[in-house]
């Protein structure tokens, strides 16, 4: 790592600010590899005061993988891969304002997401992140044994998440935004790069375990939803214009705090294509994998 690059952890569980890199420049392969190594270690990394255009933002994102479009909301007119994440002054609900891993309802969920702040409120609008490695590792041996063999159904129309998209769906929904997407994934996911196990359920999208009813699944899921966001698993990031967050959806969740009513917050998000989640001692049936674009 070059002497000019500094890594400043922001919490014990996850999260670090990377200093000493100007993302408007053409980064070397060595610098990109260093960023990826830091990112894999800390799960989410942050950059401050990056005055970059949408084209430069996309170019930086593409250094880490293939950019993919969000399935429900249209992107910017000139940059469809960039999704505006907006809360306007008169709105009361913020987009994605619930703990989640991005689009876990897709058959192949995204590897990562990047968010850059374009407009921020004078105070508030922070984002929380949680470490799903720790969420799994701190479970009892008995609970780990139970979960290692389970898969879960994740849907794009779970009420808790749908409410956080209503404002944006009114004015910027994609033509296919009325579809329901269903992804069936291992509850315990093996990270393809680190080999570590992470808890891969979330309150925004997970509705039940495969082979169980929602009522049968609810007691365990409710426990997991509370457990995985324990304060000692989390970090909190305060945005300013030009801040960038880059998080790993395979092992981290996030939750934007909705505490800035009457103020505008405008962010731009890009997602990176991932791989089909792989777990331990479990398989997802071919019929279940076809349940990805059912009409509502």
Q: Which of the residues are catalytic?
A: 100, 102, 254, 269
Closest CA to 135 of 205, 226, 27: 226
Contacts of residue 171, Cβ cutoff 8 Å, sequence gap at least 6: none
CA distance 32 to 283: 34
Contact call for residues 134 and 199 (beta carbons, < 8 A): no
In the chain, which ranges are continuous DSSP H helix?
Answer: 29-42, 54-62, 132-137, 141-147, 159-162, 166-172, 214-227, 286-289
Closest CA to 75 of 88, 90, 61, 86: 86
Radius of gyration of the chain (CA): 18
């Amino acid at each position: 790592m070059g002497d000019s690059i500094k890594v400043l952890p922001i919490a014990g569980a996850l999260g670090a600010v990377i200093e000493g890199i100007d993302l408007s420049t053409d980064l070397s392969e060595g610098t990109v590899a260093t960023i990826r190594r830091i990112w894999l270690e800390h799960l989410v990394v942050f950059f401050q005061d990056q005055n970059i255009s949408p084209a430069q933002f996309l170019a930086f994102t593409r250094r880490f993988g293939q950019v993919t479009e969000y399935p429900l909301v249209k992107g910017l007119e000139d940059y469809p891969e960039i999704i505006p994440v907006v809360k306007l002054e008169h709105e009361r609900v913020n987009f994605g304002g619930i703990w989640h891993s991005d689009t876990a309802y897709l058959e192949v969920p995204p590897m990562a997401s990047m968010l850059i702040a374009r407009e921020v409120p004078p105070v508030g609008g922070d984002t929380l992140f949680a470490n799903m490695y720790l969420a799994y590792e701190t479970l009892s041996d008995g609970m780990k044994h139970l979960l290692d063999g389970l898969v879960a159904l994740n849907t794009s129309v779970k009420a808790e998440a749908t409410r956080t998209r209503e404002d944006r769906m009114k004015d910027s929904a994609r033509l296919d935004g009325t579809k329901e997407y269903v992804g069936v994934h291992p509850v315990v996911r093996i990270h393809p790069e680190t080999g570590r196990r992470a808890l891969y359920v979330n309150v925004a999208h997970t509705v039940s375990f495969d082979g169980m009813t929602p009522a049968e699944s609810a007691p365990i899921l409710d426990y997991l939803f509370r457990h995985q966001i324990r304060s000692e698993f989390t970090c909190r990031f305060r945005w300013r214009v030009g801040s960038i967050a880059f998080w790993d959806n395979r092992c981290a969740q996030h939750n934007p705090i909705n505490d800035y009513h009457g103020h505008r917050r405008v962010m731009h998000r890009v997602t990176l294509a991932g791989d089909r989640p792989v777990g331990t001692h479990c398989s997802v049936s071919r019929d279940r994998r076809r349940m990805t674009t059912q009409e509502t």
